[in-house]
Amino acid sequence: MRRLTLVFLLVLLMVTAGCRPKTTRYQAEFLGLFDTVTTIIGYAESKEEFTALARQVQEQLAKYHRLFDIYHNYEGVNNLKTINDHAGVAPVKVDREIIALLLFAKAQYYATGGAVNIALGPVLKIWHDYRTQGILDPHAAEVPPRHLLVEAARYTTLEGLIIDEAAATVYLPDARMRLDVGAVAKGFAVERVARQLEAEGVSSLLLSVGGNIRAIGGKPDGKGVAPWKIGIKNPDPESPVPQLCNVLIRGEAVVSSGVYERYYTVDGTRYHHIIDPHTLMPADYFTSVTVISRDSGLADALSTALFILPLETGLELVEGLDGVEALWVTDSGEVISSAGFSAYLEEQSW
């Protein structure tokens, strides 16, 4: 994540909701959190009311951005970078939200058979560095040497992560260990913010952090409360149809992982950022995976896990979870969904 620099934009869309007289649809956008664009859509009786709510969301997300950042230091904050910097040196006392994130990530590691591994940092750093260099200088783009990846993988055992809940400390006992929470951090942060807003009485809002979407309730539409309509991106850049389908949600999260997000090209081959911890290479079963769940953190973790796991294993995993549905697009372009995914569809485009 880049150092936190926020830009706040408020867009007023003159659409009134008939079920709430004088209620107008507003949209706010800001940059700088989790290296992406955050969008908030909601209905309010005044610009001032919505702006205050949007600012509150911005501040809460900014707190999580600083805590979960692995690239930058912040004055007075012990964050994940602090933990990485003290690997092999000493435990680091951290905010309870970091403890909560790491415990959640450990649970997902075991639930997905190791497909989601926040200790994969040493391997992911190598890919990050080679990808960055390949983007800056495409003619010199290279795939990381296998021996470097294999050596780095020796220090990716999640069992080595020491969390002392009572003391609120985290310790990486080997200096070569490194945490990377890219598979879970955005979704976890969005879910924490959404739950706080719900506890405070917010009943209708749509949050999107880089496409990691979480709805609070539905939206007023003149007749009552309607679902939010979310478009699922087509991962095929050559397709004339930009979206695979639209899904309708009330209170759920929608998270997609795909090859179109972060990648670079070497000798005509794309290498994306979702690395299989078993092969140490970009996962190659699918071009995109979308997950719908009541929990944004779970949806975020599962979108990565299901992208890495074989289809049969992924389907079995989803079928064993309540309130979770998924949509896969294979590398051959086939679209496959879990049994209950169609219940969310507005229409089917494939």
Question: What is the tens place of the pLDDT at every residue in 194-220?
Answer: 999 999 999 999 999 988 999 999 998
Does residue 167 sit in the same domain as residue 193? no
Helix (H, G, I), strand (E, B) or coil at 210: coil
Per-residue burial over 22-52, b = 16 or more CB atoms within 10 Å of its CB, e = otherwise: ebbbbbbbbebbbebbbbbbbbbeeeeebbe
pLDDT at 174 over 60: yes
**Angle in degrees, CA 15, 19, 24, rounded to 5:** 25
Does residue 88 sit in the same domain as residue 153? yes
- The CATH number given to whatever domain includes residue 109 is 1.10.3980.10
Domain of 119, in residue numbers = 80-171
Confidence class for position 240, pLDDT limits 50, 70, 90? confident
| Separation of alpha carbons 174 and 219, rounded Å | 49
| Separation of alpha carbons 21 and 7, rounded Å | 31
Q: Is residue 75 part of a domain?
A: no
φ and ψ at 104, to 5 degrees? Answer: -60, -45
Residue 210 burial class via C-beta count within 10 angstroms: exposed 0-12, middle 13-18, buried 19 and up? middle
Total structural domains within the chain: 3
Q: Is residue 218 part of a domain?
A: no
What does the pLDDT look like over 122-131, one tens digit per residue?
999 999 999 9
φ and ψ at 315, to 5 degrees? Answer: -60, -40
Q: Which of 67, 62, 9 lies closest to 33 in space, CA to CA? A: 62
Q: Is the pTM of this model over 0.75?
A: yes
Percent of the chain whose predicted confidence (pLDDT) is above 70: 93
